[in-house]
Structure 1
Amino acid sequence: MNGSIPTSLGRLTELTKLQLFHNSWKGLLSQNHLQGLAKLRVFSVSSDTTSIFYVTHEWVPPFSLLAIQISNYMLGPKFPTWLRNQKELSSIVLTNVSISDTIPDWFWKLSMQIDILDLSHNQLVGVVPNSSGISFVDLSFNCLEGTIPLWPNVMFLFLNNNLFSGAIPSTIGSVMSSLVVLNLSGNSLNGTIPLSIFKLKVLTGLFLSDNHLSGQIPIHLEDLRALGSVDLSQNNLSGHVPESMCSLSFLYWLSLSGNNLSGELSWLKNCRSLYTLDLGDNKFSGNIPGWLGENLSLLSKLRMRANLFTGDIPQQLCHLSDLHILDLAHNYFTGSIPRCLGNLSGFNHFTSSNTAFPFPFAFPSQLIYIHQMDLVVKGRQFGYTITLELVNVIDLSSNNLSGEIPEEIANLSDLGTLNLSRNQLTGKIPKKIGELRWLETLDLSSNHLSGSIPSTMSSLTSLSHLNLSYNNLSGSIPSTNQFQTFNDPSIYEGNPELCGLPLSTKCSIATNVDAKDKDGKKKVDNKEDEYDEFWFYLSTGVGFIVGFWVVCGTLVLKRSWRRAYFRYLDEVKDRLFAVIAVNVAHFQRTT
């Protein structure tokens, strides 16, 4: 629904629920819309356009609400004082409403009766008290500061993306023993991960990323029996990952990227329930063991970017049928690209793994969207959250891979990003690469590829980022379809034998790049044309001879057929003369 909300709603004096959420309202919503709703108990409104909720500072609502939900309305900048009169509230959701104030003391006195509090995506400032009876708290994406509060009754605590500092309280596990989800990401926390966290027996999600935590990952993880998601990325953690990490039977998401962790991957052997594994930007070393593709058969996202891995890319990775993100860039892998990667069926359909928490919650939907993975797409790094399941990426760049690009890659019909740059690849660009209908990013730069740019690449209509620089490519650059949009010469630089726009080097002879190029393809095409022309004339001559003698030969050899044929011609001639004579006589009579 769109347009403005009519003030006549205020005449519905018997109304108890007014739910206007998830619409496209415009204009002003004021106290006049609500003034007559004395029996109102539940109120919700949101808009995807710029809208204003205006009430005077002195306004006293005529109703007593149980639940209120306002999102994407300009309610601030002051904290709404009219909530002070709502003595029965159990659920308060005021997200993205432009409040840039401190949370007043009187509000925390109300909190003893509140079960759900969501004030996320505002500009709230100040500190929060150290006691509250709320079970679900979301204060994320604000400017709150101070130390992490200890709230004994809280089950879901989202304090991520604020300015909290200091160490995580050492007693957090004993004081907040009911925690199901703890999200402290995106703050300025320091110190080590307290051992008391491992007393949280019902914890399903632990998110401590983007802080300044140091030290090692604690050893005794096996006590966290319900833990499904662990994100410790972008900290200063060091040492080896404890073997107990994979004793967590529900663990499906593990992100340890952006730390100083080291060692080999033997600890991964029993992580059989993992859907997502992100070990990027660390100091892990050794080979990727072949059993990873067999034991971790549920993997759909594998990111090991920027480590110290060596050896070949194991063929067993091709057993990961749900895999749709494979990022092994910036390592020291050698050997060839496995041809069996073309069998990864996860790149042939948009997957949607069940990455929600393993228990059903009657709480706001952002619970399932807190996962994030950083991927390099179109030459830039992006953080993907909600759309992560729709991203299909193969990135093997900056290794020592050799050999040719396998044609089987073209079987991955829904592949969105293919980055094989900065390797030692040779041979030609596969002609079948034009079958990658959804390919948006193709980077083959800084290799030793030769030959022409296949004309089939003109059919990559989704392609928006291309880099073929610093190879040994030759011939004319295609000029049709998508190639008309690639006007940056740096895409092709470092290929001295390439010619045509957007390069300044003009091709010496105008050629149809879809059929000819400088590396000998022209001669092959000419021979094929001569061959086809020869067979055309030969078949025409043979056909004429056969047709002529099938008809005329029988008339020469068989007298009865010859007489019948000429008798038939005489009858046709006589009938034709008769028709002409009748028509001439008829014409003369009428004139």
Structure 2
Amino acid sequence: MNGSIPESLGKLSELVELYLYSNSWEGILKEAHFINLTRLKALSISTDPIEKPMSLNVAYDWVAPFKLHRLLIRYCRVGPGFWKLIQSQTELLDVTLQNTSISDSMPKEWLSKISSQVQNLDLSYNNFSGRLPLQLKFPKLQSFDLGHNQLEGPLPLWLTNVYYLDFQSNLFSGPIPSNLGQLMPKLRYLDVSENRLNGTIPLSICNTKDMEVISLRNNQLFGEFPQRWSWWSKIRIIDVSHNNLSGNIPSSMGFPSSLKKFKYAGYLGKSAITLKGKELEYDDGNLALWGNLIDLSSNNFEGEIPEQVGSLVELSTLNLSMNQLTGEIPSSIGKLRWLETLELSHNQLSGHIPQNFSSLTSLSHLNLSYNNLIGNIPSGYQLQTLNDPSIYEHNPSLCGAPLSTVCPTDDTKPGHTFHGEDHSKDDKEGFWFYVSMALGFIIGFWAICGTLVLKKSWRYAYFKFFDNVKEKVALTIALKVARWQERL
């Protein structure tokens, strides 16, 4: 359906629910479209934001004849009059005003009026500014999305059973509340990325035992990542990249059972993650395609990569790049058969690339550049398709395809690794091998022949022994010949 919506719609006085989406409507909705809709409880409007723009524009002092319970408006410009009308709707249970071009301060009084009954509140992708009220109670709130606005100040301290909280891409500052886990114990999705938060990650956040997705990326957080994160038995996505976190990567990384056995989560909204070298957006509609993700990149983590990472058998993305990690790459990573993205670049990793990396048949993006890796690059299977030399660059002692550095001839066989110091060791071992052979021959020769030369009685006995042997052999041969002739 297309064209303008007729004003005669406003005459449907018995109408309870009105859904205007998934079509090609255009034009402006005015007071006349709603004038007699006294029983209206649900209104949903969504349009194509590019091809068929639509707007809602009513007089600033217009009093609506209805009290809505459910309101959904997406990609539809809302005038100041309609925004004023919305604030008069105090019986709302579900509210979505997404990408409506609203530019206003956060309506604290309206939030206070609807807080006792509202269940889902989405005001994302607008231009709301100001601060949120800090001490409201939302006893029935399940999901709250204020992402991509201009809100500032500290994160609010709300006592609520909310399971989905998205405050990404705002101007929030200060620390994450230390008692967040106690105030919101049922949190499953937390996204406060792209803000100005500082301080440490509070231990209480681990009390949210149903956590599935947590994104704290691109803030100013410091300190260590809580060891208690293994309490998150359902965790699917961890993104704390682009902060100032330090310390060792938790050895408990191998414990969460959800990364060992795939479990699909419910509504998870939208966020972003560095995947396959690009910053990409994921949402509830395609989460199953993203799989299980860990992104700890661009921090100050140090120490070795825990061997337990190999137990995360359902892991699809592991990004530990741009840290200060040392030691060797655990061979256990080669067991992650569903791993698609492995980012370990810009660390201080040493040793050889594990040979079993060739068994990572799902791997489509690899970056091991800017480390201290040595030896021959493993070949075979999926690794042969990753022929971009930049993924191995700035490892001076690496050799083999796709790098231009050729490994020595004897070391080009599959599975053989190249040691820079092996040649001198082999040369020394060869030299002493030949020396020992020469000494053994000389000693053996003179031990026997020297004795015969020096001792006359031994020399006579030695030659007499061989004369006797010679006579016995000659006699035996003569007898055999004689018997053979008699038979003929």
Give the TM-score, by structure 1 length.
Answer: 0.58
Q: How does 1:346-361 map to 2 (within 5 A)?
A: none
What per-residue deviation string (whole Å, max 9, x for no partner) do you get for residues 445-473 of structure 1? xxxxxxxxxxxxxxxxxxxxxxxxxxxxx
Q: Report the Cα distance in structure 2 between the residues aligned to 1:324 and 1:200, rounded to whole angstroms.
A: 33
For residue 516 of structure 1, what is the aligned residue in structure 2? none
Equivalent residues of 1:275, 1:301 under 8 A apart: yes
Shift of 1:206: 1.6
Equivalent residues of 2:18, 2:43 under 8 A apart: yes
For residue 42 of structure 1, what is the aligned residue in structure 2? 42
- Residue 102 of structure 2 is aligned to residue 96 of structure 1: no
Q: Report the Cα distance in structure 1 between the residues aligned to 2:320 and 2:33, rounded to whole angstroms.
A: 53
For residue 269 of structure 1, what is the aligned residue in structure 2? 310
Q: Which has the larger radius of gyration?
A: 2
Q: Report the Cα distance in structure 2 between the residues aligned to 1:255 and 1:268, rounded to whole angstroms.
A: 13
Shift of 1:174: 1.2
For residue 13 of structure 2, what is the aligned residue in structure 1? 13
What per-residue deviation string (whole Å, max 9, x for no partner) do you get for residues 341-367 of structure 1? 44789x9xxxxxxxxxxxxxxxxxxxx
For residue 395 of structure 1, what is the aligned residue in structure 2? 391
- Residue 149 of structure 2 is aligned to residue 142 of structure 1: yes
- Give the 3-state SS of the residue equivalent to 1:166 in structure 2: strand
Q: Report the Cα distance in structure 2 between the residues aligned to 1:53 and 1:63, rounded to whole angstroms.
A: 16
Q: Give the aligned length.
A: 364
For residue 231 of structure 1, what is the aligned residue in structure 2? 239
For residue 307 of structure 1, what is the aligned residue in structure 2? 347
Shift of 1:148: 0.8
Q: Report the Cα distance in structure 1 between the residues aligned to 2:105 and 2:144, rounded to whole angstroms.
A: 16
Read off the aligned partner of 1:163 and give its amino acid letter: L
Shift of 1:47: 1.7
Read off the aligned partner of 1:288 and give its amino acid letter: I
Shift of 1:178: 2.0
- Residue 185 of structure 2 is aligned to residue 177 of structure 1: yes
For residue 83 of structure 1, what is the aligned residue in structure 2? 86
> Taking structure 1 as reference, are residues 308 and 129 closer, same or farther at Cα in structure 2, changes over 3 Å only?
same
What per-residue deviation string (whole Å, max 9, x for no partner) do you get for residues 231-265 of structure 1? 11110001101112221111332110010111111
Shift of 1:309: 2.1
Q: How does 1:507-546 map to 2 (within 5 A)?
A: none
Equivalent residues of 2:321, 2:346 under 8 A apart: yes
For residue 367 of structure 2, what is the aligned residue in structure 1? 327
Give the TM-score, by structure 2 length.
Answer: 0.69
Read off the aligned partner of 1:239 and give its amino acid letter: G
Shift of 1:272: 2.6
Q: Report the Cα distance in structure 2 between the residues aligned to 1:65 and 1:192, rounded to whole angstroms.
A: 42
> Taking structure 1 as reference, are residues 241 and 403 closer, same or farther at Cα in structure 2, changes over 3 Å only?
closer
For residue 151 of structure 1, what is the aligned residue in structure 2? 158
Equivalent residues of 1:284, 1:308 under 8 A apart: yes
- Give the 3-state SS of the residue equivalent to 1:3 in structure 2: strand
Shift of 1:316: 1.4
Equivalent residues of 1:145, 1:163 under 8 A apart: yes
For residue 255 of structure 1, what is the aligned residue in structure 2? 295
Q: Report the Cα distance in structure 2 between the residues aligned to 1:24 and 1:306, rounded to whole angstroms.
A: 49
The one of 119, 123, 143 aligned to 1:119: 123
Equivalent residues of 1:25, 1:47 under 8 A apart: yes
> Taking structure 1 as reference, are residues 24 and 310 closer, same or farther at Cα in structure 2, changes over 3 Å only?
farther
Shift of 1:15: 2.3
- Give the 3-state SS of the residue equivalent to 1:64 in structure 2: coil
For residue 25 of structure 1, what is the aligned residue in structure 2? 25
Q: Report the Cα distance in structure 1 between the residues aligned to 2:383 and 2:302, rounded to whole angstroms.
A: 32
For residue 438 of structure 2, what is the aligned residue in structure 1? none
- Give the 3-state SS of the residue equivalent to 1:292 in structure 2: helix
Q: Report the Cα distance in structure 1 between the residues aligned to 2:366 and 2:390, rounded to whole angstroms.
A: 5
Shift of 1:26: 2.7
Equivalent residues of 1:166, 1:189 under 8 A apart: yes
- Residue 329 of structure 2 is aligned to residue 288 of structure 1: yes
Shift of 1:164: 0.7
For residue 279 of structure 2, what is the aligned residue in structure 1? none
- Residue 80 of structure 2 is aligned to residue 69 of structure 1: no
> Taking structure 1 as reference, are residues 25 and 120 closer, same or farther at Cα in structure 2, changes over 3 Å only?
same
> Taking structure 1 as reference, are residues 341 and 259 closer, same or farther at Cα in structure 2, changes over 3 Å only?
farther
Equivalent residues of 1:322, 1:344 under 8 A apart: no
Read off the aligned partner of 2:19 and give its amino acid letter: Q
- Residue 168 of structure 2 is aligned to residue 163 of structure 1: no
Q: Report the Cα distance in structure 2 between the residues aligned to 1:47 and 1:426, rounded to whole angstroms.
A: 59
> Taking structure 1 as reference, are residues 36 and 285 closer, same or farther at Cα in structure 2, changes over 3 Å only?
same
> Taking structure 1 as reference, are residues 314 and 67 closer, same or farther at Cα in structure 2, changes over 3 Å only?
same
Equivalent residues of 2:361, 2:382 under 8 A apart: no
Over the aligned positions, Cα root-mean-square deviation in angstroms equals 2.5
What per-residue deviation string (whole Å, max 9, x for no partner) do you get for residues 459-495 of structure 1? xxxxxxxxxxxxxxxxxxxxxxxxxxxxxxxxxxxxx
> Taking structure 1 as reference, are residues 6 and 326 closer, same or farther at Cα in structure 2, changes over 3 Å only?
farther
> Taking structure 1 as reference, are residues 120 and 44 closer, same or farther at Cα in structure 2, changes over 3 Å only?
same
| Greater mean alpha carbon deviation, residues 285-294 or residues 67-76 | 285-294
Q: Report the Cα distance in structure 2 between the residues aligned to 1:396 and 1:91, rounded to whole angstroms.
A: 51
Q: Report the Cα distance in structure 2 between the residues aligned to 1:265 and 1:38, rounded to whole angstroms.
A: 64
Equivalent residues of 1:66, 1:89 under 8 A apart: yes
For residue 378 of structure 2, what is the aligned residue in structure 1? 338
Q: Which runs of 5+ in 2 are unaligned?
A: 260-291, 408-488
What per-residue deviation string (whole Å, max 9, x for no partner) do you get for residues 158-213 of structure 1? 11111111111111111221222111111111111111111112222221111101
- Give the 3-state SS of the residue equivalent to 1:190 in structure 2: strand
Read off the aligned partner of 1:253 and give its amino acid letter: L
For residue 457 of structure 2, what is the aligned residue in structure 1? none
Q: Report the Cα distance in structure 1 between the residues aligned to 2:370 and 2:23, rounded to whole angstroms.
A: 45
Shift of 1:40: 1.9
What per-residue deviation string (whole Å, max 9, x for no partner) do you get for residues 492-513 of structure 1? xxxxxxxxxxxxxxxxxxxxxx
Q: How does 1:181-200 map to 2 (within 5 A)?
A: 181-200=189-208
Q: Report the Cα distance in structure 2 between the residues aligned to 1:79 and 1:257, rounded to whole angstroms.
A: 44
> Taking structure 1 as reference, are residues 248 and 86 closer, same or farther at Cα in structure 2, changes over 3 Å only?
same
Q: Report the Cα distance in structure 2 between the residues aligned to 1:79 and 1:150, rounded to whole angstroms.
A: 30
What per-residue deviation string (whole Å, max 9, x for no partner) do you get for residues 290-341 of structure 1? 22111x2221221222222233332312222222222223333344443314
Shift of 1:140: 0.6
Equivalent residues of 1:13, 1:37 under 8 A apart: yes
> Taking structure 1 as reference, are residues 258 and 78 closer, same or farther at Cα in structure 2, changes over 3 Å only?
farther
Considering Cα pairs closer than 8 Å and 6+ residues apart, tell me whether 1 or 2 has the greater RCO. Answer: 2
- Give the 3-state SS of the residue equivalent to 1:86 in structure 2: coil
